[in-house]
Structure 1
Amino acid sequence: MRTKLALAITGVATLFAVTACGSTGSTEPSAAPSLDPANPVVVKVGASPVPHSQILEFIDENLAKDAGIDLEIQEIDDYQTPNIALADGTIDANYFQTEAYLAQQVADKGYEFEHGQGVHLEPLTIFSKKFDKPEDVADGSLVLLNNDPVNQLRGLRVLESAGLLSGLTDDDSALTLDGDDTKNPKKLTFNEVNSEQVPKFYAEDDNIGLAVINGNYIVQAKLNLDEVLAQESSQDNPNSNFLTWRAGEETPAIAKLDELLHSEEVAAFIKKTWTDGSVIPAS
């Protein structure tokens, strides 16, 4: 079952402590045999609508019942609410984030979470309505980027791989590249917005030369794939998405869900559903 979850960010965050902590990736979980298909355990999972909720819905409709779990899928459109909801106990787990993003959230907000192995990857993609290939990009072109520091740097790396930036370090951002002719030889200018807003601004603003867009929002916005200029490589990519839960609370039901997320059936579903490569199983 899928529902929408929208929490007020202000105020909710005060419900949990903000003590600094570490983030530890779990090993492959082994679900306890106590789960009973005749009496399934409800697992509340917060997830981005695409592709995460779709993957969870496939599990709920095809695999969960026999495994003794019942998924209550709560769709969340932004990247802040899922971790707030997990920390305050509104949900049991979430499925939407990468290792780098979670590490930044832990450092900033003190979450005490654990997570499973990567399930799928959504390659960041550069779109352009003005240019057909990277070498055509005009000097001074406006680039629309995610304002989240982790995904922004990831987006800048895609621009670098396309030959539009050079010599980036992990400390770089849209701000550091302003006026740096060595790293930004084309004198690109940058506009930063929330990740979910990038496709909307790209579609509506003709001044935008390039837009770096998260894979899940590409699918939601039904963007024209003929406008793809470059895409993040999937080879040895560390930015896969995984299931996350509160530290010390990996229940048999959560462990079973993580096991199902890594099943051959789910990998086959991902390959069949997103044939354009916007979503691929983690290797």
Structure 2
Amino acid sequence: MNVKKTLVALAAVATFSAANAADKLSVAATPVPHAEILEFVKPMLAEQGVELDVKVFTDYVQPNIQVDQKRMDANFFQHKPYLDEFNAGRGTDLVTVTGVHVEPFGAYSSKIKSLDELKEGAVVAIPNDPTNGGRALLLLQQAGLIKLEDASKITATPRDIAENPKDLDFKELEAATLPRILNQVDMALINTNYALEAGLNPTEDALLIEGAESPYVNILVSRPDNKDSAAMQKLSGALTSQAVKDFILEKYEGAVVPAF
């Protein structure tokens, strides 16, 4: 083979390799339901020439850091209020690709069967991140248990409570730990993905739960530089397909609600 043919062959190999690399996507996700939904769409993407690599994380920080540092292409675990708060606090510039589903936030207890049984001075655990903690307090306000100084503040903390008739004692803890300490408190406000992982059924076990109209839609997140790539758009299309909608409705029976 002469030099010219060799260069042409090498260029073809390089082009082929680049095309293959562009058709691989690594996505960080929490186990339930995000990773399960991603595993469901893997065959759909494979048929479109996209190899999907799902990496499971159990916290709400590393998935964003991994994407920002270009160690992962995208993540799927959070809602936009959390993403906005993360970007503002960390100086990142992560962006929404598409909205997929809502996980109605709920209040759970191993000690009481209804909110009426919640005693004065009861210990209530909520997530310690601003958006999910605020979400918990808004839900408790909706139930009439507390009243916030600003009734619509999505990043409210216990310091923003104006009225607390039952003198509830709020404990702010990492969201992932809440199911594990459920027997140590009177009630805990738990994100549905962690509730599902712990074997809780939101539609049956929650003492209080958000409606399907919740604004906290879980989103596929990436960076500005890869948001519009062909592979990312194929993933976006798969996650908002009729097949995924049917999968969510059948598998989660109301604990996870399609948002498209």
Relative to the length of structure 1, the TM-score reads 0.79
**Secondary structure of residue in 1 paired with 2:166:** coil
Match of 1:143 in 2: 124
| Partners of 1:76 and 1:82 within 8 A in 2 | yes
Cα drift, residue 100 of structure 1: 0.3
Letter in 2 for 1:192: E
**Secondary structure of residue in 1 paired with 2:99:** coil
Question: 1:145-169: CA deviations, max 9, x gaps?
Answer: 1000110000111111122112452
Match of 1:174 in 2: 158
| Partners of 1:143 and 1:188 within 8 A in 2 | yes
Equivalent in 20, 24, 47 of residue 29 of structure 2: 47
**Secondary structure of residue in 2 paired with 1:46:** strand
Letter in 2 for 1:274: Y
CA distance in 2, matches of 1:151, 1:78: 13
Q: How does 1:84-123 map to 2 (within 5 A)?
A: 84-123=65-104
Match of 2:38 in 1: 56
Q: Does 1:272 align with 2:250?
A: yes
**Secondary structure of residue in 2 paired with 1:119:** strand
Q: Which structure has the bigger radius of gyration?
A: 2
Q: Does 1:231 align with 2:209?
A: yes
Which stretch of the first structure deviates more once superposed, 163-172 or 116-125? 163-172
Letter in 2 for 1:173: T
Higher helix share: 2
Q: How does 1:243-258 map to 2 (within 5 A)?
A: 243-250=220-227, 251-258=229-236
Match of 1:259 in 2: 237
Q: CA separation of 1:213/1:168 partners in 2, compared to 1, >3 Å: closer, same or farther?
A: farther
Number of aligned residues = 236
| Partners of 2:133 and 2:156 within 8 A in 1 | no
| Partners of 2:50 and 2:231 within 8 A in 1 | yes
Cα drift, residue 232 of structure 1: 1.1
Match of 1:217 in 2: 194
Question: 1:171-192: CA deviations, max 9, x gaps?
Answer: 6312343xx5xx2111100111
CA distance in 1, matches of 2:170, 2:124: 5
**Secondary structure of residue in 2 paired with 1:175:** helix
CA distance in 2, matches of 1:256, 1:157: 36
Q: Does 1:81 align with 2:62?
A: yes
Match of 2:52 in 1: 71
Find runs of 4+ consecutive structure 1 residues off by over 3 angstroms.
Answer: 224-227
CA distance in 2, matches of 1:53, 1:184: 38
| Partners of 1:216 and 1:278 within 8 A in 2 | no
Cα drift, residue 86 of structure 1: 0.3
Match of 2:140 in 1: 159
Unaligned runs of 5+ in 2: 1-18
Q: CA separation of 1:136/1:98 partners in 2, compared to 1, >3 Å: closer, same or farther?
A: same
Match of 2:173 in 1: 193
Letter in 1 for 2:208: A
Q: Does 1:130 align with 2:107?
A: no
CA distance in 2, matches of 1:273, 1:224: 12
Q: How does 1:15-54 map to 2 (within 5 A)?
A: 41-54=23-36
CA distance in 2, matches of 1:224, 1:255: 32
Question: 1:80-104: CA deviations, max 9, x gaps?
Answer: 0001000111101111111100000
CA distance in 2, matches of 1:43, 1:280: 25
CA distance in 2, matches of 1:162, 1:185: 13
CA distance in 1, matches of 2:31, 2:67: 17
Cα drift, residue 238 of structure 1: 1.4
**Secondary structure of residue in 1 paired with 2:244:** helix
CA distance in 2, matches of 1:66, 1:259: 13
Cα drift, residue 79 of structure 1: 0.3
Question: 1:232-268: CA deviations, max 9, x gaps?
Answer: 1222x21011111111322110111011110000111
